[in-house]
Structure 1
Amino acid sequence: MARAVEGVFTGRWSGLEALNRAMKARHRLVVLYGSRGVGKTALVHEFCKDKNYICWCAPEASGAVQLESFLNRLEQGNDGSISAAFECACSQGNEWKAAFKVAFGESASSEFDAVMQLHNAHARKDGSSAKGKPVIVLDEFSRVARQDASTLEALRAAWESASSSDAMLILCDSDSGFVERELLAGGGALGGLVTDAIRLNLLPYWEVAEFFPHYSPEEKTLAYAIFGGMPRHLTQCDPEISLADNVIRNVLRKGSALYDEAECIAHREFREPARYNSILCAIAHGSTRVSEIARASSLSTAKASVYLKNLVSAGIVEREFPVNVGLQQGSICGGGRGRYRIFDRLLRFWYTFAFPNLSDLEMGDARGVWERRIAPSLWRFAAEPMRLMCADWLCRESSASRMPFVCSNVGAWWDSGTWIDVTGIDEAGTCMIVGAVELSSEPVGLKAYWNLVEKAAVLPAIEKHYVLFSHAGFDPRLVQFAKGDSFVRLVPLDGLYA
């Protein structure tokens, strides 16, 4: 498939298939959600391009301005018929309910029953109008609900009254907390009405590699460590130039596409961006527990906990728990001790390297910052992303039945005295795959294997398999040893992309 068609749509074909399946059924309410920049808009546009649709993105504005914006969107291409239908429906009560009823084709007069057939006449590039089932897309609807919570009830009432119509409603949102609380939960405002829920996650590393087809495995790994799986960030890159030039041009150079990304997010999401910048900088430089983050940010533990909760809710920070938390009582367990990390790879890169060197970047020394401060430390920075890549590799291999057993849980194992990079556990907890990620510049030898075996001795598994991941390959003696032991597997860096 041509790259021009893919773009931010790379890796979203399963989402398109889910929307097309929903389209075939009658009267569907679909929720599509995920963090900003993850590809929701690209997916909706691809789905709607040959359909009879209307798409409205709620502005950050007062409720009155939002309603006016919605009505104006409905009116485009309809020669005043929407206004007349809205005035007629308003005589029966709430304005938002009336607006939704008109949008869903449920007006007070039969002369407007087919109003949705005109909705997208203005949106089609060839100037023609589409026929067939109407599709209504309400993008960032949480903005409306924050202005007036009653709009959720109005939406519910209008959608229920339109149950006889063959329409499809897509609620598209970046606020995952709002979606899960108000739209998907049984006690939420739309609980029970949602027929399909599609969550878009970040692209896995092997799909990120598709954005850089000419890069070596080393460059692909570093590109993933820096840009992560966010399509909005990846599409800024030019696959024909080096990784260094991509980062300098798109991230480090003042005025570039991603230079102000961190500051924009902080100001958009929070009232105290300075506090949050301090916390994110602390996490980026290795503070992972509340007490450590509070100390590095000069905050009390109580205040740091509140800020961290907000960062987690906004999808900027996530909390990782040891894979052994879910095991049955009696096993060695890490308990509820979670580690905080920055969810967005580009933000982690920014707060690790750009934020501490902002003065030099503001003076235009982007290449100097890259060469002096970033390039020498890049593989150390890539250690955590590569660990997560190896965990994703194990999940993929397990799902494809290419491992000794199916892993029901994959992640890092840790307790007070032991850390294991990658662990896969079967459903019964009796079989484990234990992995170590080695970033040494020298080939990995037998010593690394025996160190892993020693650490794995504390794990409560009857059957243990071992996987060693290496950036620099493997010593011939370890390769020969692994050939004679079916419980040992060696995965070089290019093996992650095989």
Structure 2
Amino acid sequence: MTFYDREDELASLETAYSSPGHAFYVVYGRRRVGKTALLKEFCADRPHLYYLAAQEAEDRQREKFVEQVAEVFEERVPRIDGWDDAFEYLGEKLETEDRVVVIDEFPYLVEENDSLPSYIQAFVDEQLQETASMLVLCGSSVSTMESEVLGHESPLYGRRTGQIDLQPFSFQQARDVISYDIVDAVRSYSVTGGTPMYLTLFNYERSLAENIQTHILSPTAMLYNEPEFLLRTELRNPARYLSILEAVALGHTTPSEISGATGIDSGPLSKYLQTLRRLRLLDREVPVTASGQKSKRSRYRVADEFLRFWFRYVEPNRSSIEEAPSVVFDGTIEPDLPTHVATTFEDICEEAVWELVRCEELEPYSEIGRWWYGEEEIDIVGLAPGDDRLLLAECKWTSEPVGHQLVDDLRAKAASVRWGPGDRSERFALFSRSGFVEGLAEDLNDNWSLFDLEELDRVFSGA
């Protein structure tokens, strides 16, 4: 399989490996996000020991680990009874030869023995620090990695020399994988999101409709039950969490709306929402001009495009998909897909604004996000407090070109955005799938920027 992107993460690992003394890195992130591929790419041309933990009894886990150490150092497998002896054995071998040591799916080991972080602490303090070797702990259970490895209560706290919280690809990064034209690339990204496993599963020589039906709507397909497996990685009883994610994906975004849709009282709901946020499955948003902690105008959104697609179209239609998946696609998904894609398009346009700032095609802004108050909303608002400058932008995923009405509407809504002094500077931008009516650009002054899909493709290609 082709390895895509991750230049920054590889550079970070390379710097740690090349620096004097030992290194202790922590790599974590959701399932399928590419942690193992990243580490294998990093280890490929370096002397290394790679151990993949499994969900099995502790004794067998330890036996396999020791067998792996012995095989790498070409020794007979010694008799070892405990994890402390296993890591002492590894430390003795590293005294003679420096290696990158990767323990993948570390949470599986902790499940069987929660004292393991203490054994690794002793290994790091007493043996690893005396070498130029590199230890990498990797895991898909975000909660376990954050509590048992990174958390203040962990014996390993303060000992890591670096960490990588591996994120899904942005649209710009995913564009290297998605070989559709820009229209279908946006549509496809709204289905797969930036998770590398999902992106590379699609065959871009086939239509998006074929890919959805083959890889998602088939009961035998890997992605058909993927969100349930994802939640079971983190949660023992995922039923209520599944219902919350479905409610949010279907448009119930405020706590009161989620409570009404799921029947979960506000007290318990708050804890469920916090857990889903901690697991990176939900995002909490407030208007960009509001205080994130204090604002009561919060909304929730599913944090991943594929999960949003799945909870919007697959989970509510399981019975029908089992019987007639093509009917579900033709009758339910395809007619509604533009509405689903429109939200993704807003996120892609926000990403484009940051890229335009980076390449100095737009003036800098310190914060960029959505804005709403009452019934009024603006897709993208950028704040530049130091310059009293405000950016206001709308994004339209429609089949008709944008005309003067949207310009008038955006100008009118700008007055409702209470931010900055009365003489603030205002800039405007419009993003449109279908371009703009003839003459619109000539009717606007230099405070306006217009971006169609061809322009967006240019922005993301770095041209």
- Normalised by the length of structure 2, the TM-score is 0.91
How many Å separate the matches in 1 of 2:227 and 2:387? Answer: 41
How many Å separate the matches in 2 of 1:313 and 1:378? Answer: 29
1:454 is paired with a residue whose SS is helix
The answer to whether structure 1 residue 383 and structure 2 residue 349 are counterparts is no
How many Å separate the matches in 2 of 1:326 and 1:397? Answer: 26
Corresponding residue of 1:493: 453
Report if the CA contact (8 A) 2:35-2:166 is conserved.
Answer: yes
Following TM superposition, by how much is the alpha carbon of 1:199 offset from its aligned partner in structure 2, in angstroms? 2.2
How many Å separate the matches in 1 of 2:117 and 2:263? Answer: 41
How many Å separate the matches in 2 of 1:400 and 1:254? Answer: 45
1:43 is paired with a residue whose SS is helix
1:425-461 deviation line (CA, Å, top 9, x unaligned) = 2253721211111223211111101211111113323
- Structure 1 residue corresponding to 2:52, chosen from 47, 50, 57: 57
- Structure 1 residue corresponding to 2:121, chosen from 156, 163, 175: 156
Matches within 5 A, 1:272-287: 272-287=237-252
- Normalised by the length of structure 1, the TM-score is 0.85
Q: 1:79 to 1:134 in 2, by over 3 A?
A: closer
The answer to whether structure 1 residue 300 and structure 2 residue 265 are counterparts is yes
How many Å separate the matches in 1 of 2:261 and 2:439? Answer: 44
Corresponding residue of 2:302: 342
Report if the CA contact (8 A) 2:370-2:378 is conserved.
Answer: yes
Report if the CA contact (8 A) 1:156-1:189 is conserved.
Answer: yes
Which letter maps to 1:458?
A: S
1:126-170 deviation line (CA, Å, top 9, x unaligned) = xxxxxxx30100112233334433321221121111211110111
Q: 1:79 to 1:469 in 2, by over 3 A?
A: closer
Ranges of 4+ aligned residues in structure 1 off by more than 6 Å? none
Following TM superposition, by how much is the alpha carbon of 1:59 offset from its aligned partner in structure 2, in angstroms? 2.1
Q: 1:41 to 1:429 in 2, by over 3 A?
A: farther
How many Å separate the matches in 2 of 1:477 and 1:457? Answer: 25
Corresponding residue of 1:15: 9
Q: 1:62 to 1:348 in 2, by over 3 A?
A: same
2:110 is paired with a residue whose SS is helix
Which letter maps to 1:226?
A: V
The answer to whether structure 1 residue 357 and structure 2 residue 317 are counterparts is yes
Q: 1:180 to 1:268 in 2, by over 3 A?
A: closer
Corresponding residue of 2:88: 101
Q: 1:179 to 1:254 in 2, by over 3 A?
A: closer
Matches within 5 A, 1:239-278: 239-278=204-243
Report if the CA contact (8 A) 2:178-2:199 is conserved.
Answer: no
1:21 is paired with a residue whose SS is helix
Following TM superposition, by how much is the alpha carbon of 1:48 offset from its aligned partner in structure 2, in angstroms? 0.8
Matches within 5 A, 1:409-424: 409-424=367-382
Which letter maps to 1:204?
A: S
Corresponding residue of 1:122: none
- Structure 1 residue corresponding to 2:329, chosen from 367, 370, 390: 370
Corresponding residue of 2:461: none
| Aligned sequence identity (%) | 29
The answer to whether structure 1 residue 200 and structure 2 residue 187 are counterparts is no
Matches within 5 A, 1:68-87: 68-76=63-71, 78=73, 81-83=76-78, 86=80
2:78 is paired with a residue whose SS is helix
Following TM superposition, by how much is the alpha carbon of 1:79 offset from its aligned partner in structure 2, in angstroms? 5.8
The answer to whether structure 1 residue 142 and structure 2 residue 104 are counterparts is no
How many Å separate the matches in 2 of 1:415 and 1:177? Answer: 34
Following TM superposition, by how much is the alpha carbon of 1:28 offset from its aligned partner in structure 2, in angstroms? 0.8
How many Å separate the matches in 2 of 1:151 and 1:374? Answer: 47
Report if the CA contact (8 A) 1:411-1:423 is conserved.
Answer: yes
Which letter maps to 2:299?
A: R
Corresponding residue of 1:44: 39
Bigger mean CA deviation after superposition, 10-19 or 313-322 = 313-322
How many Å separate the matches in 1 of 2:103 and 2:149? Answer: 13
Report if the CA contact (8 A) 2:49-2:72 is conserved.
Answer: no
Following TM superposition, by how much is the alpha carbon of 1:46 offset from its aligned partner in structure 2, in angstroms? 0.8
Q: 1:304 to 1:185 in 2, by over 3 A?
A: closer
How many Å separate the matches in 1 of 2:67 and 2:287? Answer: 51
Following TM superposition, by how much is the alpha carbon of 1:186 offset from its aligned partner in structure 2, in angstroms? 5.8
How many Å separate the matches in 1 of 2:181 and 2:72? Answer: 50
Report if the CA contact (8 A) 1:445-1:477 is conserved.
Answer: no
Which letter maps to 1:435?
A: A
Report if the CA contact (8 A) 1:432-1:465 is conserved.
Answer: yes
Q: 1:20 to 1:113 in 2, by over 3 A?
A: closer
Report if the CA contact (8 A) 2:430-2:451 is conserved.
Answer: yes
Bigger mean CA deviation after superposition, 69-78 or 456-465 = 69-78
1:466 is paired with a residue whose SS is strand
1:54 is paired with a residue whose SS is strand
